[in-house]
Amino acid sequence: MPPANPFAEFESKMRGAGLGGPTIRAFERNYSTLLGEQTALIRIRESRIEPVADLLRFEDIRETCADPALLSQTVALKLNGGLGTGMGLDGPKSLLKVKDDLTFLDIIARQILHQRRRHGVTLRLLLMNSFNTSRETLAFLRRYADLGEPQSLELMQSRVPKVDAATLRPVQWPQDPDLEWCPPGHGDIYPSLVVSGWQERLLNEGVKYLFVSNSDNLGATLDLNLLGFFAASGWPCLMEVAERTAADRKGGHLARAQGKLILRERAQCPDFDLPAFEDVQRHRFFNTNNLWIRLDVLDLMLKRFDGFIPLPVIRNEKTVDPRLKSSPKVYQLETAMGAAIECFDDAGAIVVPRSRFAPVKTTSDLLGLRSDAYVLTDDQQMVLAPSRQGIPPTIDLDGDHYKLMDQFDDKLRDGVPSLIDCQELVVRGPVLFSGRVRFQGKVKIANRDAEARPLPEGTYANCEGEV
């Protein structure tokens, strides 16, 4: 049972940590949702929604004659709060080297500077950092003085208390008090814009358009055609979506409810509706987390709800110390940025090619980007080599031997193999690669021994083999 005054302890803890009013009010709303077990918390039933049929496509607007002056009214915001712990990292994921010696953040900075120089405009860049990524990110940005003072590029994500699953009170963990807190998901962007003062500042500086994307998705460039279309559309919000494939069946999808576009995540789907949820022919589109927003409309909504947006709540069940499964169970209450699409009247969506959705979630993804299957263009865009005709290689590295970056780097210390002509690569067991190996077509390589073995140099085409 919750305590008599359920939220008082949370509010006291948050105020003691210096968190602002909108952040507290947003968390209070999410906590109240948890206590009430409202439908929006976990369940969005199939009977409540309709599939989204046809949408406007990127190809339909590619000939838009966009005015480059729109860039001076735009801010590109990169979500940069992740550590990449799933890949064994303990620092900002955006500082991972992606191509040659360039990191995600190198390439993002160079993209912004290129557009500034090319169009002669002041295109703004913001990075939404977390308490885990702020210090290292700001230190790194000092090498790009032309972007401005690093602190002037930062929007700080807030943090919220973890909820003790047994008592529904703030969890206590004296062994490491930092573990009593968690990030509130990227839906926190909205109250954070208010608390930081950035919302008011951007509007006062004449900024009208906000483009948000993940820092680990180098495909999410600030496309001038998309900006021009969005500015002319009059829509308050435009979500970039992509076609779902069988590989995307467990991820969230776009739907309609009561005439509005909504997102449904797997955690919000009841078990008996999972077959429909995973039917990629029925629910055809997923959110790329590339979002365009009219700042003036957003400002009205934030004022209406006293500094935050009431988003559907996602309850993640964890342990207070994720490395210690015997530690107390907790609830982490999170919201998703894209879920705001249901809060805007007349919001839109557009189907974009998969090239605009190329996040690095695994070392398999990273191998593709580091290989010659991708090239870095003069305008600092990471794109597939022309000969690949827009189709990336499918890569499946053995998780037991390549999941963590130290494992991955060790097995590629002699260079990255050529994948420009590779359709599919499957690796099982510990195999050492080099830059003198070339894969073509569909290839499967295995090593059944526990000891890592080098793959002899040469070309491997449409074959299966062991080392």
pLDDT in tens, 68-79: 999 999 999 999
148 pLDDT higher than 90: yes
- pTM, 2 dp: 0.92
Split at pLDDT 50, 70, 90, the class of 37 is low
Q: Using CA atoms, how far apart are residues 459 and 222, in angstroms rounded to an integer?
A: 38
Percentage with pLDDT > 90 across the chain? 81
Q: Using CA atoms, how far apart are residues 126 and 167, in angstroms rounded to an integer?
A: 38
Full set of structural domains in the chain with CATH: 8-356 (3.90.550.10), 363-466 (2.160.10.10)
For 287-301, the pLDDT digits (tens) are 999 999 999 999 999
Least confident of 70-74, 299-303, 312-316, 402-406: 312-316
Q: Could you tell me which of 333, 4, 36, 66 has the C-alpha nearest to residue 185?
A: 333
Report the pLDDT value the prediction gives residue 3, as an integer from 0 to 100.
56
Report the pLDDT value the prediction gives residue 266, as an integer from 0 to 100.
86
For 74-100, the pLDDT digits (tens) are 999 999 998 888 898 888 999 999 998
38 pLDDT higher than 90: no
Split at pLDDT 50, 70, 90, the class of 463 is very high
Report the pLDDT value the prediction gives residue 39, as an integer from 0 to 100.
40
346 pLDDT higher than 70: yes
For 42-53, the pLDDT digits (tens) are 578 999 999 998
412 pLDDT higher than 70: yes
Least confident of 98-112, 162-176, 241-255: 241-255
Q: Using CA atoms, how far apart are residues 466 and 453, in angstroms rounded to an integer?
A: 10
Q: Using CA atoms, how far apart are residues 301 and 224, in angstroms rounded to an integer?
A: 26
Report the pLDDT value the prediction gives residue 64, as an integer from 0 to 100.
66
Report the pLDDT value the prediction gives residue 18, as an integer from 0 to 100.
93
Instruction: Provide the Cα torsion 133, 73, 311, 221; round to 10°.
Output: -60
Largest CA-CA distance found in the chain, in angstroms, rounded: 71
Displacement of CA 416 from its chain's centroid (Å): 26
Q: What is the mean pLDDT of the chain?
A: 93
- As a whole number of Å, the CA-based R_g of the chain is 23
**For residue 456, what is the DSSP state?**
P
